[in-house]
Amino acid sequence: MKKIAIIGGGIVGATAAYLLSKEPGYAVTLFDQETGQATKAAAGIISPWLSKRRNQKWYALASDGAHFIAQLAQETGMSPQTYLQSGTIVTRKDPQALDALEALAHERRQSVPMMGKIERLTRTQIKERMPLVTADLQGVFISGGARIDGQRFVADLLKLSQQNGSQIWHEKVMLKNDQTVQTTHQDLTFDVILLCAGAGVNELLAPLGYEVTVHPQKGQLIELKVPTYPEDQYAPVLMPEGEKDFMPIGNGRLIIGATHENEPEFDLEFTQEAFDELVASAQRMDANIHKSDLLATRVGTRAFTDDFSPFFGWLPENSHVLVASGLGSSGLTTGPLVAKLMTTMLTQQTSYANYQKDIETYLHKKE
């Protein structure tokens, strides 16, 4: 029986725990300090196919990740409140840019069937699907796009993992060496340790003599109370050009977000500046929104690299530590697949070069 430690209970760690808990021969213990998770503060949109990014490795990871997370949601019987293929609407202000977006959608649909139906929508058609929207918008609808409640998704996976025998410890831990996790009261030894702690990997790897070029990014979003309308629980997600994502989630609730702030680093205080920015963006989509409509706020810390690419794999020159980080704002899309690939590395020798650069691009031994 191989003893596996997972440090970090966000989307990557929770998925890894669930996947390993189903396999014979593994005893899984997950450690999570439960603060600052990017997963809990993410807007939760699974629709990478029309991204402006030119990084083909990232696109392959995100596109395949969208497919895997749909499989995972179906396999585990997740509710529509947790994962829903609601469709996404991506807008462009310039008609020629909208033409190019529609052409890109049809081009990529040829190799990605799960994108589903592609439609060009007028202002009236957007209004029919999203009655809250008062802005003059035109866009492209992708029926295979989805929304996900990261907090619910993780909770469901951890519950299933525990039912399969995994242990969950809620505390901050450190690495004493490459096989020893130091808790508040004792040291625990494992055969393999998976580091899935986002921007916290730098602190965790410091005792082993490694430096990681990964940076924290603060993300803030808001939830607003809005008028209900028929089928609002199944409304598509609006991804308006130059604005924050606009996500009705049913029962008169609307999520707006999220911000991308590099300076505050690990600060988890919700700010007035973010609130004003998010509300203003929401009001440009729906002129009937007021600041008094606020229901809740969320704050989390993402991890990003200098080239905005995720990385994962074995720690160089080490056979006991697997690490993943740098998922950035696409963590809910790429995280489950990253977890799956990490778990396969326990039995297969592969670098998954189609999805990422060499891991030594992002971490190295201190001199």
DSSP 180-228: EEE-SS-EEE-SEEEE--GGGHHHHHGGGTEEE-EEEEEEEEEEEE---
Specify whether 220 is located in the same domain as 187: no
Q: Is residue 66 part of a domain?
A: no
Structural domain boundaries, residue 195: 2-39+151-214+307-365
242-260 pLDDT, tens digit each: 999 999 999 999 999 999 9
Specify whether 224 is located in the same domain as 290: yes
Which of 317, 289, 218 has the alpha carbon at shortest distance from 260? 218
Q: Are 76 and 160 within 8 A, CB to CB?
A: yes
Specify whether 127 is located in the same domain as 184: no
End position of a domain, from candidates 269, 301, 333? 301
Q: Is residue 220 part of a domain?
A: yes
- The kind and range of the H/E element at 338 are helix 331-344
Q: Is residue 75 part of a domain?
A: no
Specify whether 96 is located in the same domain as 121: yes
| CATH value at residue 270 | 3.30.9.10
Percent helix, strand and coil across the chain, each rounded to 5?
A: 35, 30, 40
Q: Is residue 117 part of a domain?
A: yes
Task: Provide the pLDDT for residue 253.
Answer: 96
Q: How many domains does the chain have?
A: 2
Specify whether 266 is located in the same domain as 337: no
Could you tell me the sign of the dihedral formed by the alpha carbons of 267, 268, 269, 274, in that order?
Answer: positive
159-211 pLDDT, tens digit each: 999 999 999 999 999 999 999 999 999 999 999 999 999 999 999 999 999 99
Q: Is residue 10 part of a domain?
A: yes
Give the C-alpha distances (Å, rounded to integers) separating 338 from 9, 250, 313, 333.
14, 30, 9, 10
Specify whether 320 is located in the same domain as 358: yes
Work out the mean pLDDT of the chain and round it to a whole number. Answer: 94
| CATH value at residue 10 | 3.50.50.60
Q: Is residue 104 part of a domain?
A: yes
222-235 pLDDT, tens digit each: 999 999 998 899 99
Task: Provide the pLDDT for residue 50.
Answer: 95
Which of 348, 292, 345 has the alpha carbon at shortest distance from 315? 345
56-106 pLDDT, tens digit each: 999 999 999 999 999 999 999 999 999 999 999 999 999 999 999 999 999
Specify whether 229 is located in the same domain as 255: yes
Task: Provide the pLDDT for residue 264.
Answer: 65
Angle between helices 331-344 and 11-21 (to 10 degrees): 40
Specify whether 264 is located in the same domain as 123: yes
Q: Is the confidence at residue 14, as pLDDT, over 90?
A: yes
Q: Is residue 52 part of a domain?
A: no
Specify whether 127 is located in the same domain as 256: yes
Q: List the 321-325 sheet strands across, edge first.
A: 167-169, 26-31, 2-7, 192-195, 321-325, 311-314
Question: 37: pLDDT confidence band, cut at 50, 70 and 90?
Answer: low
Q: Is residue 63 part of a domain?
A: no
Give the C-alpha distances (Å, rounded to integers) separating 272 from 157, 222, 279, 291.
34, 11, 10, 11
Specify whether 208 is located in the same domain as 311: yes
pTM: 0.95
Specify whether 159 is located in the same domain as 176: yes
Q: Is the confidence at residue 35, as pLDDT, over 90?
A: no
Which of 317, 343, 339 has the alpha carbon at shortest distance from 327? 339
Specify whether 206 is located in the same domain as 221: no
The residue written with tokens 């993300």 in the block is 219
Torsion of CA 184, 190, 193, 196, to 10 degrees: -40
End position of a domain, from candidates 301, 321, 355? 301
